[in-house]
Amino acid sequence: MAVELEALGTSDYLDVDDDEEHYEFLHGQKIKKESVGRKKHSLLGKVIERMLAPLAHAQKSFIATEWTIMHGKEKAVPNVTVSFPDWTEQDGYLVAPAFLVVESISPGQRLPKLFAKCFNTYHPWGTPYCWIIDPEDGAYEVHRDYDGLVRPVTTLTAGPNISLELSMIIAELGRELRPF
């Protein structure tokens, strides 16, 4: 017997998602990645990737949205990942470290959880730069050399050659959300 798609509610298919690509494996736990497939979240990653691409390519780095980083048996899926110039891949995944990871807040997430992800996952894996972006409330740098500090910023930086204005990211996101 066929099930009509119109009869299914959101909860009918969200709970049966068993796609391993929608999960991170951190500190011995399988964690569902928030907001996978949501329009605004997806577009924000696309905007950041597009804006960072020339800067990343100038330093001979690779950049991608939702590019999984592997560290031993653990894996994390930042919204945007910029590699170091001579990166290593395994089965299409970036083998840690990344040069820069960008996480954007998702519905239901809290900023302290994302800050902790930078401190407890990305930094120990060797990633020096971490940006957290909340399109409603601002942006934060959580860099390894900040000694545990989180800095609210209007200009996001990663090393001497990468910087983006939050206002430009938000303006471009607005254009993406109103394409016509």
Q: Strand, helix or coil at 52?
A: helix
Q: Which domain holds residue 167?
A: 34-177
Residue 21 located in a structural domain: no
Return all residues near 45 (Cβ < 8 A) that are at least 6 apart: 65, 66, 79, 80, 102, 104
Q: Which of 154, 148, 68 is nearest to 112 (CA)?
A: 148
In a domain, residue 100? The reply is: yes
Q: Is residue 4 part of a domain?
A: no
Tell me whether residue 51 is in a domain. Answer: yes
Helices (H), the chain: 10-14, 39-58, 111-117, 166-177
Quick: pLDDT tens for 4-55: 434 434 444 344 455 555 665 556 766 666 555 578 888 999 999 999 999 9
Structural domain tally of the chain? 1
Classify residue 19: in a domain, yes or no: no
CATH number of the CATH domain containing 39? 3.90.1570.10
**Does residue 71 lie in a domain region?**
yes
Distance CA 150, CA 71 (A): 24
Angle formed by the axes of helices 39-58 and 166-177, to 10°?
130
Residue 55 domain-assigned (yes or no): yes
Determine the 3-state secondary structure of 63 from DSSP: strand
User: Is 49 within a domain?
Assistant: yes
* pLDDT computed for residue 30 by the predictor: 65
Q: How many beta carbons lie within 10 A of that of residue 131, not counting itself?
A: 29
The tens-digit pLDDT sequence of the chain (180 residues) is 444 434 434 444 344 455 555 665 556 766 666 555 578 888 999 999 999 999 999 999 999 998 999 999 899 999 999 999 999 999 999 999 999 999 998 877 889 999 999 999 999 999 999 999 998 889 999 999 998 899 999 999 999 999 999 999 999 999 999 877
